[in-house]
Amino acid sequence: MTVPAPVREQDAAQEFALLTETVLGPYLDSLGQLHRVLCPRQVLGVRIALLASRWLDVPFPQTDKRTLILPEIDGCFADGLSVVSGCSIGHRTLRLVDHGKIAATVVDTRERRAIRVWPKPSVRIAACAYAEGESRRWHAQRLGYARMPDTELLFVRSVELPGEAEALLRPWHTRTTCIRCGEEIFNARQLVVAGGDVCRACAWDGDGDAAER
């Protein structure tokens, strides 16, 4: 990820003022508590969460566990999603599916619907048109991402309910013991091997091949 060049305090204040006038405005303080510098990936996380909320007609930030989010990369992007949605690992409403992509699948568990949202491939260049007067590319991308219309910034499509979401929907209070290592397994994450419950770490042999199920 490109690192921004140092900016003067006056320039930073001017940039912050411009960002407060965008859809990012209500989330800047919360984002600032997580990261010293607001980066373009955080902006994309915010924009994707906001679009998903409207597309699925689910309220954000949520006060229950109706919505699940599966980001495909960790770091700043996931924090942007979380700040808007209220979804988190601790609440079992956010789970990383690490494909190394700036994308997220958002699931409405009540209606059993899911969408995947990701940025258009040309947004780095297109964003600069929405940051007139900003010659620094990183800063122009950040402001542009905050200003661009959804239709120019993001792709969205309906998808089947992902298997990772199904795992989060399982009863959280279940518990069993792995017959190989003796450690407890929660949240119905065990596999059945030769008729016994086995944890996922033990369910693979030393050569990296799946054990017989």
pLDDT in tens, 103-132: 999 999 999 999 999 999 999 999 999 999
Residues 116 and 128 reside in one and the same domain: yes
* CB contact at 8 A, 181 and 196: no
d(CA 152, CA 46) in angstroms, rounded, equals: 15
Residues 23 and 107 reside in one and the same domain: yes
Per residue in 157-171, pLDDT (tens digit) is: 999 998 878 777 777
CATH at residue 130: 3.30.1330.130
Look at residue 212 in the predicted model and tell me its pLDDT. 45
Secondary structure (DSSP) of 165-207: HHHHHS-TT-EEE-TTT--EEETT--EEETTEEE-TTTTB-TT
Residues 150 and 179 reside in one and the same domain: no
**pLDDT tier for residue 206 given thresholds of 50, 70 and 90:** very low
d(CA 52, CA 41) in angstroms, rounded, equals: 16
Query: Does residue 26 register a pLDDT over 80?
Result: yes
Residues 39 and 78 reside in one and the same domain: yes
The sign of the CA dihedral 97, 102, 107, 108 is positive
The whole model's pTM is what? 0.84
First to last CA, the chain: 41
* CB contact at 8 A, 60 and 108: no
Domain that holds residue 204: 171-213
Angle at 154 between CA 151 and CA 157, to 5 degrees: 95
Residue 199 lies in a domain: yes
Residues 157 and 58 reside in one and the same domain: yes
d(CA 5, CA 53) in angstroms, rounded, equals: 34
Residue 143 lies in a domain: yes
Look at residue 189 in the predicted model and tell me its pLDDT. 85
Residues 73 and 30 reside in one and the same domain: yes
CATH at residue 177: 3.30.60
Per residue in 47-82, pLDDT (tens digit) is: 999 999 999 999 999 999 999 999 999 999 999 999
d(CA 207, CA 127) in angstroms, rounded, equals: 47
Secondary structure (DSSP) of 23-81: TTGGGHHHHHHH-SS--HHHHHHHHHHHHHHHHHT--SS-SSS-EEEEESS-THHHHHH
